[in-house]
Structure 1
Amino acid sequence: MRTWLPLVIVVALVSLGLWFAESPPKQLLGKRPTQQDHNKAADLIIRDARTRHFNVEGTLAYEVDAERITFFQFARRDRADLTEPRMMFYQGENSKWRTESRAGIAFDNGQKVVLQGDVSIKELPQPGITLRTPKIVIKPREEFAETDKVVTITDGPNRTTGKGLRADLKQDTVEILSDVESSYETR
């Protein structure tokens, strides 16, 4: 019996040491996390995420995929931080527009998505127009995009730049709001 006693004591001390090492200091001190601490914590993290969204007729309206989605639920609204998000908008059964960016934030269950960092929106099939901007707000359900940043639109060798943009992706209309400059290459 005596030969087991030192082994039991060593195992108990190692277990107690691991428990202290893994426990947050607030829990060791008996303090409970505040509501602000809970608000900072993510509710859900999804890696290699892909979501599909359908319109009222039941046909595929758009898809969103991202390297990572970090979801936060707050008292009045929710937010999802997107890492390398890509969105594909459909018209009927054909893909029509594809967006890509480095990061994004989706608000209110995806009703508004802010894309930022080398944002590109490409008309499909290529070659079609390509829009580039550092930041843009997209309302996916309305298929509407807008920004107050500088935008560059290319269509083959043709190029148009300006500040601010409103784009109705459903109607295939793009409006640059100010400081428009264009260069066209004749064929």
Structure 2
Amino acid sequence: MDTRSAITMVFLAAAAVGSWQLGRSPIGGEAQEPASESPALGFYLKSPRILGTDNDGTLLYQIEAQYAKQLANKDIELQGVSLRYSAKTNVPWMIKANIATISQNQKFLNLQGDVVATSNEGFSGQVTEIRTAKLEIEPDSYKAETNNRVYLKIGPRQLTGIGMLALLRENRLELKSNVSGQFVP
């Protein structure tokens, strides 16, 4: 090996060691601490199904969703959610929404985003549909309530109002204010 080749080899080796050193340590010589973000705690589920039962284990209702995750405050958020009561409860309602949040105490189901409640045996024995942006449900007590605008269709009749209380087991509904409607004979 001649002198020129030896100098070239030493130069290339020094360049390789130097580039490795630069890639290994941060500029300015200060060591960077790894990101202090702790891994997300909680759970994530695809296609979860939640069954609500009474003290004897009899099925009262079923909540299904496309996706569920536990939030930092321990609430559970469901996406693409539906709630259906068991036939044994005599509550013929199906309720769907884009998003639902189950409170930490698991008493309330807060629905939001295109909330639609339907029943083929609804009020006055006619197909009934309720639409609103947000709805709070207590599945165990069959109670649904909102302070938002509500669109209600009972057979051919249509009503709108602000705020609603629905007692699903008693098949009773109360619009709270600004009620207007269209009644076809």
- Structure 1 and Structure 2 fold alike (TM over 0.5): yes
TM-score if structure 1 supplies the norm length? 0.72
Given the superposition, is the C-alpha separation of residues 164 and 93 from structure 1 closer, same or farther in structure 2, using an over 3 Å criterion?
closer
Aligned counterpart, 1:45: 44
How do 1:10-29 residues align onto structure 2 when only pairs under 5 Å count? 29=33
Aligned counterpart, 2:77: 81
> Which residue type is aligned with residue 101 of structure 1?
A
Cα deviations by residue, 1:53-111 (Å, 9 ceiling, x for unpaired): 1122432111000000101364xxx2011101100023516561100111111112531
Unpaired segments of 5 or more residues in structure 2? 1-23, 25-31
Cα distance in 1, alignment partners of residues 80 and 105 from structure 2:
18
Q: Is the 8 A contact 2:121 2:128 kept in 1?
A: no
Q: Would you say how many aligned residue pairs link Structure 1 and Structure 2?
A: 152
Percentage of identical aligned residues: 23
Aligned counterpart, 1:152: 151
Cα distance in 2, alignment partners of residues 155 and 130 from structure 1:
7
For 2:177, what is the secondary structure of its paired residue? Answer: strand
Superposition RMSD on alpha carbons, in Å?
2.3
User: Which structure has the highest strand share of the two?
Assistant: 1
TM-score if structure 2 supplies the norm length? 0.73
Unpaired segments of 5 or more residues in structure 1? 1-19, 21-27
Which 4+ stretches in 1 moved above 4 angstroms?
A: 30-33
Given the superposition, is the C-alpha separation of residues 91 and 173 from structure 1 closer, same or farther in structure 2, using an over 3 Å criterion?
farther
Q: Is the 8 A contact 1:79 1:105 kept in 2?
A: yes
